[in-house]
Structure 1
């Protein structure tokens, strides 16, 4: 079940600045993820409601375990057994694998890639704590449990202060964000598509994002387009 945008998001997206300069699209329909193709867009987020069966399985089986899996799969017939290895058969297990298969199929349809890289991890600390842009074409990210990925508008970022270029100074004081800028955060089960620097025409425009701060445990899946 899809959720609607918040009143804050509706106001922002309706503003003159958003209409002319926003690098983000927040959508509630699968078909609208195609907006990622617009040259000015670097982040497209599909708002999704929490699936109680998937949520229950992830919390009961994946969250308590040190999960770290990386797979290369055929999107037409992905072998995902390793993502739920050892888990007893249950509606929650099947719902989780069905959700992952659906996201792989969606991602392959959007990108046209013949293979998909799947990463599933249980994290207890930020994997990528600094704002950065990835050297990929596009990456899909969804957080099943815990705080989601944070991102910034393209116009709000000083790219010469991203990542290691800030010389170890935290994002909050490095000046990487322009005055008045704020980070946005995905909710659990949201599907985020993040353009990378390797997307055609996106050099110096790749999605600027980071892992959320703190030590709240998270279960995160990412998909990458492979040749």
Structure 2
């Protein structure tokens, strides 16, 4: 995995009291996601120019969606770069994905990882919601990143379909004065779901960013 973390540029602020978010700059600190009060943990990363160049040249131009089930010890990721000639950028991209899979497996202890790589031209999940998963990793290689809200800032009875199709901006799902936060490209986000033991009604509340800017997004899910 690309390990370009500049502590001077990305110094992680101290979390506010009661915050459900942790912003970190060290790989080891992603383990904070296991804390009961934490639902979102984000590792800040500097963009890798080789990886970004490959993604823009080969993955961004056309819609695509690849879903794989892999052994984290020896993941076969060829399908993620199908059709692309061998290059340093291609190898750097696959190396980054392998590193994320290894990291995710170490954090979760899962024997299998669900991998999804998608090029999206519109928001896949446009409304704030929480997923019925244990833990999901998300990183956006190109385009705006995933948005999320603090646990205390949300009315959960108005999440997703409970808002009856009313947009988040007018549904009242966000409490007065609340603001959404957004991951930057190459950030590694861990989103704790409703299926995490003891986490019912505390799953990470998030959504795809609005607009039609194309994005290339990788997600990983822990599978038994």
TM-score tier after normalising by the smaller chain length: over 0.9
Q: Provide the rounded CA distance (Å) in 2 between the counterparts of 1:160 and 1:6.
A: 38
Equivalent in 189, 206, 213 of residue 192 of structure 1:
189
Give 1:212 deviation, angstroms: 0.1
Deviates more, 1:1-10 or 1:65-74: 1-10
State the match for 2:160 in structure 1. 163
Whether the aligned pair in 2 keeps the contact of 1:5 and 1:26 (CA below 8 Å) is no
Equivalent in 48, 56, 62 of residue 51 of structure 1:
48
Q: Provide the rounded CA distance (Å) in 2 between the counterparts of 1:8 and 1:33.
A: 15
Give 1:8 deviation, angstroms: 11
Give 1:223 deviation, angstroms: 0.1
Question: What whole-Å deviation, never above 9, does each CA across 1:103-144 have from its counterpart, x for those lacking one?
Answer: 000000000000000000000000000000000000000000
Q: Provide the rounded CA distance (Å) in 2 between the counterparts of 1:204 and 1:140.
A: 19
Whether the aligned pair in 2 keeps the contact of 1:134 and 1:196 (CA below 8 Å) is yes
Equivalent in 23, 32, 37 of residue 26 of structure 1:
23
- Alignment of 1:120 with 2:114, yes or no, is no
Decide whether aligned partners of structure 1 residues 156 and 4 sit closer, same or farther in structure 2, where only a CA change above 3 A counts: farther
What SS does the corresponding residue of 1:181 show, helix, strand or coil? coil
What SS does the corresponding residue of 1:72 show, helix, strand or coil? strand
Give 1:67 deviation, angstroms: 1.6
State the match for 1:86 in structure 2. 83
Whether the aligned pair in 2 keeps the contact of 1:70 and 1:118 (CA below 8 Å) is yes
What SS does the corresponding residue of 1:21 show, helix, strand or coil? coil
Q: Provide the rounded CA distance (Å) in 2 between the counterparts of 1:174 and 1:66.
A: 31
TM-score for both structures, normalised by structure 1: 0.95
**Which has the larger helix fraction?**
1
Name the count of aligned residue pairs: 221
- Alignment of 1:172 with 2:172, yes or no, is no
TM-score for both structures, normalised by structure 2: 0.96
Give 1:65 deviation, angstroms: 2.0
Q: Provide the rounded CA distance (Å) in 2 between the counterparts of 1:7 and 1:86.
A: 35
Q: Provide the rounded CA distance (Å) in 1 between the counterparts of 2:10 and 2:24.
A: 14
What SS does the corresponding residue of 1:205 show, helix, strand or coil? coil
Gaps of 5+ in 1: none
Whether the aligned pair in 1 keeps the contact of 2:30 and 2:41 (CA below 8 Å) is yes
State the match for 2:145 in structure 1. 148
What SS does the corresponding residue of 2:104 show, helix, strand or coil? helix
- Alignment of 1:218 with 2:221, yes or no, is no
Whether the aligned pair in 2 keeps the contact of 1:142 and 1:221 (CA below 8 Å) is yes
State the match for 1:110 in structure 2. 107
Q: Provide the rounded CA distance (Å) in 2 between the counterparts of 1:226 and 1:102.
A: 18
Question: What whole-Å deviation, never above 9, does each CA across 1:145-200 have from its counterpart, x for those lacking one?
Answer: 00000000000000000001011111001100000000000000000000000001
Q: Provide the rounded CA distance (Å) in 2 between the counterparts of 1:42 and 1:166.
A: 22
Q: CA RMSD in A?
A: 1.5
Decide whether aligned partners of structure 1 residues 140 and 42 sit closer, same or farther in structure 2, where only a CA change above 3 A counts: same
Decide whether aligned partners of structure 1 residues 112 and 131 sit closer, same or farther in structure 2, where only a CA change above 3 A counts: same
Give 1:5 deviation, angstroms: 8.2
